[in-house]
Amino acid sequence: MDFTGRTAIVTGGAKGIGRGCVELIAEHGGNAVIADMNFEMAKTVEDELVKKGLKAKAVQVNVKQVSDIEKMVKTAADTFGSVDILINNAGIFHATPIEDITEEEWDNILAINLKSVFFATQKVLPYMEEQRYGKIVNLSSLAGRNGGIANGMGYAATKAGIVGLTRGFASRLAKYGINVNAVAPGSTDTGILDGLSNSEIDALVKNIPLGRFGKIHEVAAAIVFLCSDDAAFVTGAVLDVNGGMYFG
């Protein structure tokens, strides 16, 4: 894989799977834009990469806000001259029982996990359309494929919605040379599952045929492959990376 001259925006890029993608893209020559709500953490990643001679830029964004998304895209283009890759990775998890989900919690998770994917795609489109080149990868989840096990329904709904957005955008944007795919990880060891109890974690692991959680680099590698020209003929796909829990 070679990302030389390519600019990639990774939302939620300061930590977890997003950080894994940022590192891989930068290590393969790309310009990595670390777009995260936590600017301090994003800046630390930028500093570490730049110290290694790699190209990176931290940007503060709350993906809930369309105005922030607009600024994120403009900063990427102003800094590196193009926007070639968008990884819609930022997301939050909840495990709230059906009876306890409030309207506020529902609206919040829908805005962060799903609305952001639509608007980030809308805002990178002018650049990708003009250059007739773009790669977009959206983070779905096993929960979006099978309705989920330990997660709340708001989470499952956003991750299933991402599959619909991925396919809709893939069919509409192919004519501009833009590939749109999704990756649906199963339980991955990033800290996002910290809200779960030990017994919930044990129950999860017991149900994974490969007998363990995924590792950050295993999910990031699948995402970054879909951003590469090696995957130029793949669009509208949902790649399951889940240790055998669901085959699609």
Ligand X SMILES: NC(=O)c1ccc[n+]([C@@H]2O[C@H](COP(=O)([O-])OP(=O)(O)OC[C@H]3O[C@@H](n4cnc5c(N)ncnc54)[C@H](O)[C@@H]3O)[C@@H](O)[C@H]2O)c1
Q: Is 155 a catalytic residue?
A: yes
Q: Is 44 in the site for ligand X (CB under 6 A)?
A: no
Q: Which residue has the tokens 């795919």?
A: 181
Beta bridge partners of 55: 31
CA-closest candidate to residue 223, choices 42, 86, 104, 106: 86
Under rule CB under 6 A, residue 92 binds ligand X: yes
- DSSP annotation of 213: P
> Least Å distance between CB 29 and ligand X?
23
15 binds ligand X (CB under 6 A): yes
Compare residues 177 and 193 and give the one whose CB is closer to ligand X.
193
Does 181 sit near ligand X (CB under 6 A)? no
Q: Of 75, 89, 166, 228, which one interacts with ligand X (CB under 6 A)? A: 89
Least distance from ligand X to the Cβ atom of residue 203, Å? 14
Residue 18 binds to ligand X (criterion: CB under 6 A): yes
* DSSP secondary structure, 16-83, as one string: HHHHHHHHHHHHTT-EEEEEES-HHHHHHHHHHHHHTT-EEEEEE--TT-HHHHHHHHHHHHHHHS--
**Whole-number Å distance between alpha carbons of 117 and 111:** 9
Contact by Cβ (8 Å): 219, 241: yes
How many other C-beta atoms lie within 10 A of the C-beta of residue 244? 12
Region near ligand X per CB under 6 A, out of 12-20, 46-54, 70-78, 231-239 = 12-20
Single-letter amino acid code for the residue at 237 = A
Query: CB-wise, 34 or 125, nearer to ligand X?
Result: 34
**151 belongs to the binding site for ligand X (CB under 6 A):** no
When binding is defined by CB under 6 A, the residue of 6, 43, 57, 64 that contacts ligand X is 64
| Residues near ligand X (CB under 6 A) | 11-12, 14-18, 36-38, 61-64, 89-93, 112, 139, 141, 185, 187-188, 190-193
